[in-house]
């Protein structure tokens, strides 16, 4: 731990908070209180206690931010040379790294995640800005061969003002994942972070301004989804919405966007299968399962929440995962335990409800299955790493997104059954496959309906690999060069010579 990181951790542990946290919206380059003066509390999931207050935005605050973004759309950012825009975004990345320690501690307090995970998220956010900084002057149109008497070409123009409705599980990294390509394309943005985790998006907007992003180009309005989020989704001054969250809320966003014909990218839920074939390296697979389902306490849309395992190695695989899960310690994220808390008391009770109903149906709970407060303090919203074994394809725990540290095990006898089980939910976000038979792996990758498939390493890839889902997991793609296309509109020009 660096001296700077240690200083912020010690302050947070001693006081339960940090000094000088942002508590206003960020609109037109300035901190702005809510029009009605309203504020809200944000809670530390590791203690269940309030550690900061922030502005509770309403429709008037959203309107002010959207107006600022539309004014800035006509300003220097869109007309800046792409290479110069890239230099500004590189400076954003540098500033994220320079403030990494404070950003990570704030993310841990706000989201509950382990400090090591928060540091990884901060590093990923910086890498995201670097990637799109480098892409600014490489996102080019095409020349179309219509014959000697015509000149035809395409242009990529910024779509306009983009709205980003950000989830609570990865506040900073999801904000960066949307803001960086939108800014690279020349758009202006209005972000609405989740009411549970508003702080690092505000800090990111301040860093963008420091780096040279003009005032009004990057705006953040905090508040509830019901008030601020809904007002943003239906605002006629928004030209594109990127939403990450639940299926039901995504449906509401689509309905709100429809009257304005606002473009959408939706990254929704998942119930992703992780397949382990009989020839797989079981220890390697078990290690990957642990990260796939217990990182961030399972609160990941692309979590490997279903373990599909060949019958001949079922018991060996389950025993390996159960032993590893039992060894995980629980505790406040600043202590870097094996696993941190869930996001809220309501979410904790929701996760516990799924397990209790499964237990009542006679499902075998191989490990975990209990609410367990922080053993050091008796506080916080913690749930034991849990493994539900040998579930039927129609079981509620298989079909619904639990969004917690609960692994659901299903057993298959051949590859056709494995594909049927993998595709047997309404989701299609990601899938993982562990096998030494690469022919079988690529056949499975072809036949499984998912936006991404990982072979022999779960969460493989990075910012350059497109990410998004099929079916009820949403549509559109983030990350990679695909994301730049999401924030552009294509114009065709044809000239008769």
- Whose tokens are 């056709």? That residue is 416
Distance in angstroms between the alpha carbons of the first and the last residue of the chain: 66
CB neighbour list of residue 384: distance below 8 Å, 6 or more residues apart: 330, 367, 368, 369, 370, 371, 372, 405
* Closest residue by Cα to residue 65 from 158, 176, 188: 188
Phi first, then psi, for residue 271 (nearest 5°) are -145, 65
Catalytic-labelled residue, pool 301, 401, 408, 488: 301
The string of DSSP letters for 291-310 reads HHHHGGGG--TT---EEEEE
Q: Is 337 helix (H, G, I), strand (E, B) or coil?
A: coil
How many residues in the chain?
497
Q: Which two tokens stand for residue 160?
A: 């306009």
Phi and psi at residue 334, in whole multiples of 5°? -70, -15
Closest CA to 67 of 161, 206, 186: 161
> How many Cα atoms occupy the beta-carbon half-sphere of 202 within 13 Å?
26
Return phi, psi of residue 46, to 5°: -75, -20
Q: Which two tokens stand for residue 421?
A: 């089980």
Task: Report yes or no: 194 and 171 within 8 Å, Cβ to Cβ.
Answer: yes
Please indicate whether residue 24 is annotated as part of the active site. no
Residues 6+ apart with CB under 8 A from 74: none
Angle between the N-to-C axes of helices 171-184 and 82-98, in degrees from 0 to 180, rounded to the nearest 10: 160
Burial class (CB in 10 A: 0-12, 13-18, 19+), 219: buried
Say whether 295 is catalytic.
no
Please tell me the distance from the alpha carbon of residue 116 to that of residue 174, in angstroms, as a whole number.
17
**120 three-class SS:** helix
Active-site hit among 107, 227, 267, 384: 267
Which residue bears the tokens 């922080």? 374
* Helix, strand, coil fractions of the chain, as percent rounded to 5: 45, 20, 35
Q: For residue 231, what are the CA distances in angstroms to 66, 227, 486?
A: 10, 6, 22
* Angle of the 171-184 helix axis to the 100-111 helix axis, nearest 10: 120
CB atoms within 10 A of CB 236: 9
Strands (E), 302-451: 306-310, 364-367, 386-389, 406-412, 427-428, 430-434
Residues forming the active site: 267, 301
């Amino acid at each position: 731990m660096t001296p700077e990181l240690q200083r912020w951790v010690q302050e947070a542990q001693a006081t339960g908070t940090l000094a000088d946290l942002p508590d206003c919206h960020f609109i037109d380059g300035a901190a702005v209180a809510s029009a009605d003066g309203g504020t809200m509390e944000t809670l530390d999931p590791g203690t269940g206690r309030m550690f900061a207050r922030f502005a509770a935005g309403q429709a008037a605050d959203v309107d002010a931010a959207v107006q600022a973004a539309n004014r800035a759309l006509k300003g220097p950012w869109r007309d800046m040379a792409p290479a110069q825009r890239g230099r500004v975004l590189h400076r954003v990345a540098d500033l994220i790294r320079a403030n990494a320690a404070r950003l990570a501690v704030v993310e841990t307090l706000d989201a509950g995640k382990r400090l090591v995970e928060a540091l990884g998220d901060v590093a990923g956010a910086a890498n995201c800005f670097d990637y799109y900084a480098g892409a600014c002057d490489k996102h080019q149109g095409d020349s179309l061969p219509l014959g000697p008497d015509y000149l035809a070409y395409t242009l990529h123009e910024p779509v306009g003002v983009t709205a980003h409705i950000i989830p609570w599980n990865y506040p900073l990294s999801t904000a960066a994942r949307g803001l960086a390509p939108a800014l690279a394309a020349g758009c202006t943005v209005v972000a609405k972070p989740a009411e549970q985790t508003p702080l690092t998006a505000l800090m990111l907007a301040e860093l963008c301004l420091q780096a040279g992003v003009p005032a009004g180009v990057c705006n953040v309005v905090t508040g509830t989804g019901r008030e601020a989020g809904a007002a943003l989704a239906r605002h006629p001054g928004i030209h594109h919405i990127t939403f990450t969250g639940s299926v039901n809320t995504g449906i509401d966003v689509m309905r709100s966007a429809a009257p304005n014909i606002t473009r959408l990218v939706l990254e929704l839920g998942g119930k992703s299968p992780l397949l382990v074939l009989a020839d797989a390296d079981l220890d390697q697979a078990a290690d990957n399962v642990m990260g796939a389902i217990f990182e961030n306490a399972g609160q990941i849309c692309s979590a490997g929440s279903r373990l599909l395992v060949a019958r001949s190695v079922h018991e060996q695989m389950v025993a390996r995962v159960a032993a590893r899960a039992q060894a995980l310690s629980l505790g406040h994220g600043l202590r870097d335990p094996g696993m941190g808390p869930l996001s809220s008391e309501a979410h904790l009770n929701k996760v516990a409800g799924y397990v209790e109903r499964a237990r009542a149906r006679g499902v075998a709970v191989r490990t975990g299955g209990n609410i367990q407060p922080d053993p050091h303090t008796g506080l916080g919203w913690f749930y034991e790493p849990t493994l539900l074994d040998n579930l039927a394809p129609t079981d509620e725990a298989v079909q619904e997104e639990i969004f917690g540290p609960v692994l659901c095990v299903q057993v298959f006898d051949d590859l056709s059954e494995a594909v049927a089980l993998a595709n047997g939910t309404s989701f299609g976000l990601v899938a993982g496959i562990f096998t030494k038979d690469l022919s079988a792996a690529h056949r499975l990758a072809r036949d499984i309906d998912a936006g991404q498939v990982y072979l022999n390493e779960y969460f493989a890839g990075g910012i350059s690999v497109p990410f998004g889902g099929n079916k009820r997991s949403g549509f559109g793609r983030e990350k990679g060069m695909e994301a730049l296309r999401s924030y552009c509109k294509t114009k065709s020009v044809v000239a008769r010579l």
